[in-house]
Structure formats: C-alpha cells, structure tokens
Structure 1
Amino acid sequence: MKRLLLNLFTVLGFVGILSAQYTTPDTGMTYSLDDLVAASPATISVSGTTYTLVEDLTISATDTFLINSDATLEIGAGIRITIFGTFNVDASSVMFTAVDTNAPYDGFRFEEFSDINIQNATIEYGGGLRVLTETFTINNCLITNNVSGVSTGGVIGLSRGMPQITNNTITFNETTGIGSGATNQVSPYIFNNYFEGNNQANSNRPQINLGPSLTDQPTQIIQNTVKGDRNLTLVGGISVSDLLGSGGVNAIIDDNIITDNRYGMVIQSNNVTAFIRNNVIEDNDTQGAPFQGGSGISLVASVEGNNIIASGNEIRRNLWGITLQGESMINLGDNVDNVGQNVFSDNGNGGATYALFNNTDNPLTAMHNCWDENNVPNTLADAEAVISHQNDDNTLGLVTFDPVDCAFLGVDDLAFNGFSIYPNPTDGQLNFDNNTAFEHLNVYSIDGKLITEKTLQLGANALHLDLNSGIYMLEFNGESARVIKKLVIK
C-alpha cells in the first residue's frame, strides 16, 4: 500500500511539474519583470538585467504586464506567455529569446480583448505570436528564427480587427511571416516592414498570407520589402485570398518591393476591390515551373465583377508578368481614372515573353503602359508580341492596349533621385530637399481620391498641409518629371 501511495504521489508530482504556471490574481495590478520575480520566484528569476522564465505565465484580464526598461527575458523550452489583459513593451531594447536556442519556447498567445503594444523588441527562437485580439501593435521589432508553436499559420498569426504591424524586420522564421485564417476577416496595416526568407519549412505558402478582409476597412500592405530565399522553391511573396467566400478581399497593395520568391503576388476571390500601385515585382521564379507559378501578379476568380486597379508597377524577370485565370478582371490603364504606366520587361518562360496573359474570356483595358522596357519607344506590334489574348486565341478576352506609352520612362532620374520629404509621419508641416523639378502637387487619399492640389516653387523647401490623420499619396509633377511619395499625417 505504501508503495502504491508513493507511486501515486510521484505521478501527481510529475503532472504538477508539467502544468506548473503562474497566473496574476486579476486585481487590476501592473506587473514589471521584477514584480513577477517577487510574486512567483519559482516561475521567473533574475540576474542583472537578464530574467529567466521556467513556467507558463498568464496575465489576467484586468492586469498589466509592463516592460519599460531594457531587459532580456530568456524563456524555457515549451513555455507559453498568455495575455488576457494588457501587455506593454515600451523600452529602447527588449530581448525575448530561448534559454536554449535548440529548445524553443512555445510563444505568445494574445487572447481576445487583450491590449497589446510591443515596441523595439527582438523576438526569437520561440513559437510565434498568436494574435486573437483586435488591439495589437508591433513596431520596430526584429522577429527572427521562430518555429511553429502557439502560432502555426505565421510567426504573427492574426484573427480579427485591424492590427498595426509597422517598421519591423521579419526574417528566417519556420512559418510564413504574417498569416490569417481562411475564414477570419481581418484588415491589418502592414507598413514599412522588411521580410526575408520566411517559411523556412518551404511549405506552399507565401511570406505574407492573408485571408478575407473586413468589409468596411481595407487590408493595407504598403512600402514593405518581401525578399525570398531562392533555395525555397514553394514560397511565394504576398497572397490575399478568400478561398471560402467569407467576406471578400478589400486591399491596398502599394509601393512594395517583392523579389526572389516563387511568385510575386496572388489575389484569389470572387469579391475583390483592390488597388495595386507602384510596386517593384522582380525575379519571382524560384520554382522554375511556369505551369505551377512564377507570375509577378496572379489573379484568380470563378465569377466576373472584381474591381482591381493597377498602375505604376514595375514587373521584371518573372516567369509571367500578369496572369488572369477563370473569370478574373483587372484595369491596367484607361482614359478615365487609371493612368496605367505599368512597366514590363523580360517576363517569360520557354523562350517566349509574357507580359500579360489574359487566360479568361473577359475584355481588359490596359492603356498607357510600357510593354517592353528594353525596346523604347514601344509600337503596337511590340505590345501585341508580349500580350496573350483574343488575337492569339479567339476564346480569350480582348486586351485593349492602344495607346502604348513609355514616355514616362524618359524622366531625368537625377531630377528626383535626391528629392525627399520630411518629417514623415508629420502633423502637417512638410519640408523638401532638392526640389529641382516639381511645380505642382496633387494629394490623394489612400483609396485614390483627389483631396487637394498645390502649386510649388522650384527650390521651395516647406509646405503646410491641412489634412486629417491618415495615409496619403503625394504626386509631385514637373515639366518632365513625376514622382509619388507616401505621407502619414499623425
């Protein structure tokens, strides 16, 4: 009998070790790392500015976990941090890492209604960030070398709302960089991040892999760099898709650099409103299999009616330039609202060049584009040679590409290479450096509506814009120069 009791105690003790954790008492308190050491020294210890977490930690709904001084938190294998309340990381430099980099911790789980703000942190060798809350900001962080743990769909796994993901470096994680579920309507603001080599598992997912958007708020993917690892043959650049008909896609994809992936960008949905503007999409051909991918931009739909406007994109050296499948549609330039000015060169496979492949029966407008950057000025015959449509197969839709236009490539680059605006973000005061070419300014909302126009003086160095908080596109025009800048008003 004593032996049985001893065995029972041994088993219970083992289970107790497996389930060891500390949960804050839910009394509206704010806890620093030192406070947690005092509250539960078995859970977390400290040596200098390095803290070690060896049990699961849960912050209750009315409590706050605040890190506002520089520190390193080493986390044991399989350990999870769960936040029901507030998590605020607001120091100059905070490191979250594993005790043993070969034994990752489980990661962070941010429950619905939690309030998350993470600034200036390094998050490495864990299981990612599972974001179940609508109130989530992560800024100026390094997120690297994480594995599939608490977050399986992406190192940052999103579920709802409008999370703010800005100015981060997200590299070499086992899973995709940012992901959301196939039925979760979420519209993140993804701005000025650097992605490289994510999805090291080489699964058939892109580095940014998003599902349906909120109905009334666009997904915004703006001014990011998405660079692939050319050894990963299945990893794409960006996908925004609604495969299950869970609300559709509402997206703004502007000013990104997308390079060295399996493909550049995919939008797949039967209900799309999207702007694709001023992206540089190059060398997305890592798989080398043209019937399985390799498009700069790929659009897929099974019904007509999608509203996608693309302008100012530079699409080079992909296996295909732009491909349309099923009943997808796109406006690449017209004489009304879309200036076109997309640039194509050297997109092809099998010895043929494919700037645009309209593999649908829908007519497309594609005016004012430069179809062969290496052969300027283009003729209509030059354009016809790189566009696949009704003239090649009478079952396909006709692409209207007249007039072609490469004149905008004749801008003197020196006129605006040194041109810059600052501060950005700003409260409205705007300063210029090296304005040697621009005499007119158009200010557009992020959805393309003209807000105001201003006359500029050559050499002028200051201007005040009376605008509401938000993101705007500034179009600077001169006699022989044009440039577009993005501006954030605080």
Structure 2
Amino acid sequence: MKKFLLSLLANISVIAMLSAQGYTTPDTGVTYSLDDLVTLSPSTISVSGSTYTLVDELIISASDTLLIDSDLALEIGENLLITIFGNFTVNGENVVFTAIDPTMPYEGFRFEQLSDINIQNATIEYGGGLRVLTETFTINNCLVTNNVSGVSTGSVISLLRGRAQITNNTITFNDTAAISSGANSEVSAYIFNNYIEGNNKDNSNRPQINMGTTMEDEPLEIIQNTIIGDRTLDQVGGIAVSNFVDGFINVIIDDNVIKDNRYGLTVVGGNSFAYIRNNIIEDNDSQNSPNLGGSGISLNSSTSDMEVIASGNEIRRNLWGITVIGSASINLGDNDENIGENVFSENGNGGVIYALYNNTSNAISAMHNCWDEENTPNTLADAEAVIVHENDISSLGLVTFDPVNCGFLSVDEITQNTISIYPNPTSGQLTLSNNMSFNQMNVYSLDGKLIMQKALKIGENAMFLELNSGIYLLELNGENTKATKKLVIN
C-alpha cells in the first residue's frame, strides 16, 4: 500500500510538472502569431480585442517563430516565463508586454543560445527582465521600465555573448541595473543612444551599465547614451567595464552624458584598451564619501597592461575628476595623436580641488587640457594646484601637463549648444536651424563609410536626404568648428 501511494504521488507530481509547462510549439518550422497560439492552446493564452492574456508558460521551439507585427498588449501571469529557442520578432508600432497584475510580476523572457531576437517599438514592464543567452539580439526604440529581478538577476537586460544591439531605448526605474554582461562572457555589445535613468532601485553596489570582458577584436561600444542616477540610490554608479578574470577589455565610451550617480565611469583590470572621448561627466557624488568613490573617471589595474586614451571629456563637480590607481595608466593628451582638450571644473572634496589624482608610479601625459574652467585662461600654476602627482608625493608618477589649453571651450559651446536638427527620427526631410558656424555636412554610415556631402549656409537649412532606413552620423564642419550628430531614418 505504501509503495502504491508513493507511486501515485510521483505520478501526480509528474502530471503537475507537465501541466505547468504550458504550451510548446511543435518545432516544425512554422511562424506563429498570438492568434495562432490562442487557437492552438486556449488554456495557455486568450484574447479580448487587442489584449492577449497568458496564463501559463510559453516556449517557442528552435525551428519556429513567434511574430508580433500589429499593435497589441500581452498581459502575463505571475511568475510565468516566456522562453525562445527559435525566432522572436516584434515589429508593431506599439506592443506592450506587461503583468496581469503589476504587483505580481511575471518571470520575464529567456532567449536561448542560437535564438534570433528582434524587438522593436515595444514596452516591457512589470516582469523579471530579459535573459539574453543568444548571439543574435536586437532591441530598438523600446521602453523597458519597472521590472524586477526574475529570470534576469544582474540587470533588466542581461547579456551572455556576442554583439547585442541595444539602441534608442528608454530604460528606467528597474529594480536591477539597466544592462550587464557576465564577468567572463566576452560580450561586445553596441549600446547606442539610450536614455537610462534611476535603475538598480534595489541600491546594490552595481552601476547602471555593468559590463565584463569583451571580444578582443570587436569593441564594446557605449556611445551617445544619457545615464542619469537617482541621488537617493547612493550605491549605484554610472558605467563599469571590468576584467576580473583572465580576459580582455576592448571598449569605446564616447559622447555619453553621465550625471548624478555614485561615480561616473570606471575601467577595472589589466589586458585592457579603452577610448573615452567627448563625454559629459557631472555631479557623480551621490554617496558623498571620497574614500569609497565619487570619481568622474576611475581607472584601476593591478598590472601594467592597461591603455586608456581620453580626450574631449567635460568632467565637473565630481568628488574626484580622474583617479588612476594601482598600475593603471591613461593618456590625457600628447603631442602626437591625442588632442587632449578635456575640461575639468569644481571636482573635489574636503575643500580641496582634485582634477587628476595619479595614485600610481606611472608617468602620465596630460597636455592640452583645461584644468580649471572657473579660472580661464589657465596657467601652469593653476594646473599644478589641482593635480596630485610626483611633485606632491615622491613615490607617485609625474604628470606632464604643459601646455594647458582652455581656448577650445568657446568652440565646443558653439558646436554643442546652438544648432538644432529636426525632425529626428525622420523619413528623410530634415531642417538644420541656428547654424552659426558650419559650411558643410558629411553623412556617414555607422561603419564609417561616407554616404553623401551637403553644403550648408548660415541660418536655417532645409533638405531631403535620400537614405535607407537606419542610423547615420552627421559630421558638421566649419573653419574652426566641428560637431557630430546622430540621425535616425525611418
């Protein structure tokens, strides 16, 4: 009798497990819509008007595709997981993935290795995030907000491998970080033009973008993002790229705005190469503890094989401007290839201004920078007063900062603040207004290919650009000015 009862209980457990699996597509190479799934498994998913309700788990098999190409809402039950082994394409104009009850979040999305994922124009909210195990992943023009730790624990978009494309999204107010990769995952994602604010509401010691090692021959690119912290979350940084294992870092961090975090950005570990250019890094002091952080840029390596080239950055009102620790190294400007032109202003703590703290024995080249924006033009004495190096502590490396240069500031202000480009995105019609200094516009593809050139006049310029859908870079040139803007063609 006892054996019979045990056998009966085991069978009941198996039945319960099978019933909890929801619906799995047959793996026959078919493309399914949500309406198809309603027909095939009405106990898993139902529909009313344009609102679909998922009450059991859904698995898309390796040879199958789930296509969502019309505007709709998919409401998902508590703790439910959507798993994709095959293809998942979302390209409607307004698709919403949400919880049936926002107080009872679903588990999230798991995209298995070799799946093909393309998500456009969607809202993803009140779930457990996106666990991205595949090499082929695109998310563009989406709102990812108010998600919790679920299938994805490190961040709301958690990457394991490959060249993920994360572009033009708004990623805000999630319990976890915004974007991350594993410590040894070799992820070289393209993270472009995203608005990122107030993530890691759990206030753990993680930045909003938290990346590990990269491919050696393909750079991780973090370009033209806005990363705004919630100052009440005093453990949360802006950007970190770290090599804690025997890996490699190859990263480009350009044209970002990083404000109000615990720190701005950090690169950690040897065997690393980074470009850090034209970023605005301001007010990253939310923890207000200079012994624990607060740098605009922090570099830390226990080995001497770190190479960082930084130019054109504006670093203001952080607890430290730039800190260089251990055996790390940075080139802030030289007489050969790096123009310098970094701007420092009001970075400091304890009543002392710290633009650059070279806490290493390495010599640092730091020519052609503006060391005290509040006291322009700078003298060599102004620079010396805000740099900590060999002249202050004999065991530290010497910083070479002659010549100093604040003359480029007025050019930058004209470049960045006067010209307006609209509409953006556009179908091709474009207006440039308030042009005070540019006489030519070059249009480049993202891989650097020159597509076309246009002459510009002072004032307003209206034009039509015959371009395929995609993202382009507009290079605006004048006699003494230059600017780069992003343009999206629908």
Q: TM-score, normalised by structure 1?
A: 0.91
CA contact (8 A) 1:50 1:71 kept: yes
CA contact (8 A) 1:284 1:296 kept: yes
Aligned counterpart, 2:225: 224
In the alignment, residue 224 of structure 2 is paired with which amino acid? Q
CA contact (8 A) 1:389 1:397 kept: yes
In the alignment, residue 104 of structure 1 is paired with which amino acid? P
Aligned counterpart, 2:321: 321
Q: For residue 458 of structure 1, report the CA deviation from its aligned partner.
A: 4.4
CA contact (8 A) 2:390 2:396 kept: yes
**Bigger shift: residues 304-313 or 8-17:** 8-17
CA contact (8 A) 1:191 1:221 kept: yes
Find out whether 1:388 has 2:388 as its counterpart. Answer: yes
% identical aligned pairs:
61
Written as runs of structure 1 = structure 2, the 5 A alignment for 1:5-20 is: 8=9, 11-12=12-13, 15-16=16-17, 19-20=20-21
Aligned counterpart, 1:256: 256
Distance of 2:346 and 2:377 partners within structure 1: 16
Q: For residue 99 of structure 1, report the CA deviation from its aligned partner.
A: 1.0
Aligned counterpart, 2:210: 209
What is the SS of the residue equivalent to 2:183? coil
Distance of 1:454 and 1:71 partners within structure 2: 41
Structure 1's unaligned 5+ residue stretches are none
What is the SS of the residue equivalent to 2:372? coil
Aligned counterpart, 2:49: 48
Written as runs of structure 1 = structure 2, the 5 A alignment for 1:43-442 is: 43-246=44-247, 248-411=248-411, 413=413, 417-420=417-420, 432-439=432-439
After superposition, the Cα gap between the structure-2 partners of 1:434 and 1:245, relative to the gap in structure 1 and judged at 3 Å, is: same
Q: For residue 459 of structure 1, report the CA deviation from its aligned partner.
A: 3.5
What is the SS of the residue equivalent to 2:23? strand
**Bigger shift: residues 282-291 or 431-440:** 431-440
Listed one character per residue, the Cα deviations across residues 63-92 of structure 1 (whole Å, up to 9, x for unaligned) are 000111111111111100000000001101
In the alignment, residue 44 of structure 2 is paired with which amino acid? T
CA contact (8 A) 1:105 1:126 kept: yes
After superposition, the Cα gap between the structure-2 partners of 1:159 and 1:55, relative to the gap in structure 1 and judged at 3 Å, is: same
CA contact (8 A) 1:245 1:269 kept: no
Listed one character per residue, the Cα deviations across residues 189-225 of structure 1 (whole Å, up to 9, x for unaligned) are 1111011111111111000000011111111111111
Distance of 2:336 and 2:446 partners within structure 1: 18
In the alignment, residue 94 of structure 1 is paired with which amino acid? V
Aligned length: 486
CA contact (8 A) 1:430 1:465 kept: no
CA contact (8 A) 1:104 1:147 kept: yes
Listed one character per residue, the Cα deviations across residues 139-190 of structure 1 (whole Å, up to 9, x for unaligned) are 1111111111111111000011100001111011111100100010011111
After superposition, the Cα gap between the structure-2 partners of 1:163 and 1:450, relative to the gap in structure 1 and judged at 3 Å, is: closer
CA contact (8 A) 1:160 1:184 kept: yes
Q: For residue 455 of structure 1, report the CA deviation from its aligned partner.
A: 10
Q: TM-score, normalised by structure 2?
A: 0.91
Structure 2's unaligned 5+ residue stretches are none
In the alignment, residue 302 of structure 1 is paired with which amino acid? S
After superposition, the Cα gap between the structure-2 partners of 1:470 and 1:93, relative to the gap in structure 1 and judged at 3 Å, is: closer
Aligned counterpart, 2:39: 38
CA contact (8 A) 1:477 1:483 kept: no
CA contact (8 A) 1:192 1:222 kept: yes
Q: For residue 476 of structure 1, report the CA deviation from its aligned partner.
A: 2.5
What is the SS of the residue equivalent to 1:411? helix
After superposition, the Cα gap between the structure-2 partners of 1:416 and 1:107, relative to the gap in structure 1 and judged at 3 Å, is: closer
After superposition, the Cα gap between the structure-2 partners of 1:372 and 1:245, relative to the gap in structure 1 and judged at 3 Å, is: same
